[in-house]
Amino acid sequence: MATPAPDRARGTALLADPLLNKGTAFSPEERIALGLDGLLPPATETLEEQAGRAYEAFLGYDKPLNRHIYLRQLQDTNEVLFYGLLTRHLEEMLPVVYTPTVGEACRRFSEIYRRPRGLFLTYEDRHRFREILRNRPGGEVDVIVVTDGQRILGLGDQGVGGMGIPIGKLSLYTAIGGIHPARTLPILLDVGTDNEQLLAGEHYLGRRQHRVTGDAYDEMIEAFVSAVEAELPGTLLQWEDFATAHARPILSRYQDRLLTFNDDIQGTAAVALGALTTATKVAGTSLSDHRIVVLGAGSAAVGVADMIRTALVEEGLSAQQAADRFWFVDIDGLLVNSRTDLTPEQRVYARDDTEVRKWGGDAPDLARVVGEVKPTVLIGLSTAHGAFTEEIVRTMAGSCDRPVILPLSNPTSNAEADPADLARWTDGRALIAAGSPFPPLKVDGREVPVAQANNVYVFPAVGLAVTACRATRVTDRMMVAAARAVGDCAVRAGTAGATPLLPPLASMRDAAREIALAVAQAAVEDGVAPEAAESDLREAIAAAQWTPRYTA
């Protein structure tokens, strides 16, 4: 994809534009022609030299939040250098740019705010959204990430601070997927906050009212979607960190109307399915052999089950047979048919009460369910730190040769278990992927990295795919195709035998192209993208993936 044409900015205006500024990489001839003489130190550097100097500066900050602030400032100064640095040190910097450090950056957003990025749309301006969208920097947009800040990671309602999530997410769309930074747009829908600490805070930068709810909330979402349809038709719209009460209804309402998906529901699910696909190959079993216990029954957890269920149906099971492979446990115990508090999405996985009565006792908790079901897969999306106890894990491992255990809650402080404990309690037999970064495991005197089931394996590739193949919708089969491709990339990387269930993060730009190809092919097969041969799709994907480099 062609780089947006530079404007005629000169001098200090040129240096103030992060998309055009090359800093010390401007040549002597460019400095004369562009009115930059005297505005820069005399030395002329290459991008590689600049990145080396920036990396040393990055290492000079000892706290992750300070490193995060440094990188954000670099992005606001020189985007090519920022992405040049990030792509060179992706695995090291990913936890700083995104989870878990971005959680702290969201919590302290009003304190560390430096420079505007993206758009803030408030409830009061809902009738002017299309007009405000025209104030966006740049022109055409390939990807929007939008949040209302209500359910930020495991931190809850962060109000306007939620803007840190779309900013961080889109930086990974670019670093990994190769979406041009000028064609990305982070958006914060400010409907207020119910976080009393924020409302009482002296420096809070958001709307100082409690959250809009009910019909008024739905009206604002519709106004936003209508404005995007009118102003930016064909743009991929990703919903991010919406509360369970809103996430699924919004997705259901708009997924057949827009090119859209919810990363917490579908992205998390695809990564979990990708890890499970690899684990199944490692264990020498089939997906339909698994008995899956899920702790947590929010939108992300149900989304994971829905994705796995879709894959099971593709393998020949009926929808009911696939649903019967799951046992869900939430704060009130096992999901059963007699419960009156279940959503329609949760009820799909509710167990028959007669099955549970045979177990005896009260509403079964996680320990009881694991003991009775003897699962082969244990998935955590509960934000309940330490919920996968030694007793539970040892019980599971006692009836399963290669237990698959996925403590997916993040940030790290919310993880259901520490992977090192899981490995010890299962004598190294567990196949593990965590939702947050953890130190490598010690296995037979060597270090084995812990696979991080980060959505970064999926969403940048989806963005790259739909941009390249000109898809009009994101279908369930496209997300399943992404998940299977993630597993294939892990196997090809040769990491599966060493326990990690996902591809190496350091090579994710390369993997993103393969995952994007699988997604694009599924889009063509589903009839939501123009007909194209595999060779044409590969060529389109390669052309669409932007690489950070300076242009003359």
| Active centre residues (catalytic) | 98, 169
Q: What is the DSSP letter of 351?
A: B
Q: What is the DSSP letter of 340?
A: S
* Cβ atoms 16, 22 nearer than 8 A: no
Determine the length of the chain.
Answer: 552
* Cβ atoms 289, 279 nearer than 8 A: no
* Cβ atoms 385, 416 nearer than 8 A: yes
CB contact set of 228 (below 8 Å; sequence gap of 6+): 133, 144, 235, 237, 258
Q: Smallest Cα–Cα separation from 388: which of 398, 401, 379, 375?
A: 379
Instruction: Give the side-chain half-sphere CA count within 13 A for 210.
Output: 4
- Maximum CA pair distance of the chain? 84
Q: Is 208 exposed, middle or buried (0-12, 13-18, 19+ CB in 10 A)?
A: middle
Residue 104 CB coordination number (10 Å): 18
**What phi-psi label fits residue 69: left (phi over 0), alpha (psi between -120 and 50 degrees) or beta?**
alpha
Q: What is the DSSP letter of 350?
A: P
Rg (CA), the chain: 24
Residue 446: enclosing H or E segment and its boundaries?
strand 446-448
CB contact set of 254 (below 8 Å; sequence gap of 6+): 225, 237, 260
What are the angstrom distances between the C-alpha of 125 and each of 75, 159, 220?
A: 29, 17, 9
Residue 402 CB coordination number (10 Å): 16
DSSP string, 210-254: PPP-HHHHHHHHHHHHHHHHHHSTT-EEEE-S--HHHHHHHHHHH
DSSP strand pairing (326-330 vs 292-295): parallel
Can you tell me the distance from the alpha carbon of 244 to that of 503, in angstroms, rounded to the nearest whole number?
A: 29
Can you tell me the distance from the alpha carbon of 471 to that of 465, in angstroms, rounded to the nearest whole number?
A: 8
DSSP string, 275-313: HHHHHHHHHT--GGG--EEEE--SHHHHHHHHHHHHHHH
